[in-house]
Amino acid sequence: MIIYRDIISGDKMFSDIYKIRESRFGLCYEVEGKMASTIEGSIDDALIGGNASAECPDEGSDLTTVTGIDIVLNHKLQETSFTK
């Protein structure tokens, strides 16, 4: 997997799992993403060897659904603002 990084900050921007097109002069990239939803605050018990018990039901937890572009959600990108 190739991970593309920002030249100035060194932050991760995106990876090669997305459809990437380079601009005509190689100045910038165009990355194709999709709208996606993720549930924050949940851990799949199967990943840590958990087994749901029939005796004590799950109390539940505070789960939030975040909707956005999959590239932004997967790589935890932050919005920046540019000034003069």
How many structural domains does the chain have?
A: 1
How many Å is the Cα radius of gyration of the chain?
19
* pTM, two decimal places: 0.59
pLDDT of residue 20: 92
pLDDT of residue 43: 67
Q: Is 80 part of any domain?
A: no
Q: Is 43 part of any domain?
A: yes
Domain, as residue range, for 37: 3-75
Task: Please report, in tens digits, the pLDDT of each residue of the chain (84 residues total).
Answer: 899 998 888 888 889 989 999 988 888 899 999 999 888 776 666 667 666 666 666 665 667 888 999 988 888 888 878 787
Q: Is 83 part of any domain?
A: no
pLDDT of residue 44: 63
